[in-house]
Structure 1
């Protein structure tokens, strides 16, 4: 199962964004060339299968991340957290 996740843009170069996922040090690369709007450093995007699908409002991104954290906690905590967030 694939899950689209919110991530904060840390760096943009050549159509790709380096993004931070959650509060940890985990980063992912996302192709931003499919977006129909400009994104800048600090913006949140939703990523699925390596592609940015759309820009997110920061409040919406934080709410979504909290829901994912809550799901991880319900599923048993730390073992799942490293896989999802």
Structure 2
């Protein structure tokens, strides 16, 4: 099973690379497939590649859902 995550762009390093915030962890990702990328944008990331821009509201809902799932799994252990 594969999982793509919404991540927020914190810094654009060059035309192909940007620094993304992945739940507090900063990672350089490939953004060559995305046009008109700006700091603060959310993208869907899969295996280090940004696949497409994501609406801020949709990204925040998805991240909240991931957080809720994590909390329920952690509470059960």
Runs of 4+ in 1 over 4 A off after TM superposition: none
TM-score of the pair, normalised by structure 1? 0.78
List per-residue Cα deviations over 1:46-85 (Å, max 9, x = no partner): 10000001001111110010010011112125x9xxxxxx
Instruction: Give me the whole-angstrom Cα distance separating, in 1, the residues matched to 2:27 and 2:60.
Output: 17
1:69 aligns with 2:74: no
Deviation at 1:4, TM superposition (A): 1.0
Q: Tell me which protein shows more strand as a share of its residues.
A: 2
Aligned pair count?
Answer: 75
| Counterpart for residue 31 of structure 2 | 32
Q: Which runs of 5+ in 2 are unaligned?
A: none
Please tell me the root mean square deviation across aligned C-alpha atoms, in Å.
1.7
| Counterpart for residue 82 of structure 1 | none
Which of 53, 56, 70 does residue 54 from structure 2 map onto?
A: 56
Instruction: Give me the whole-angstrom Cα distance separating, in 2, the residues matched to 1:71 and 1:21.
Output: 16
Q: Which runs of 5+ in 1 are unaligned?
A: 80-85
Deviation at 1:13, TM superposition (A): 1.7
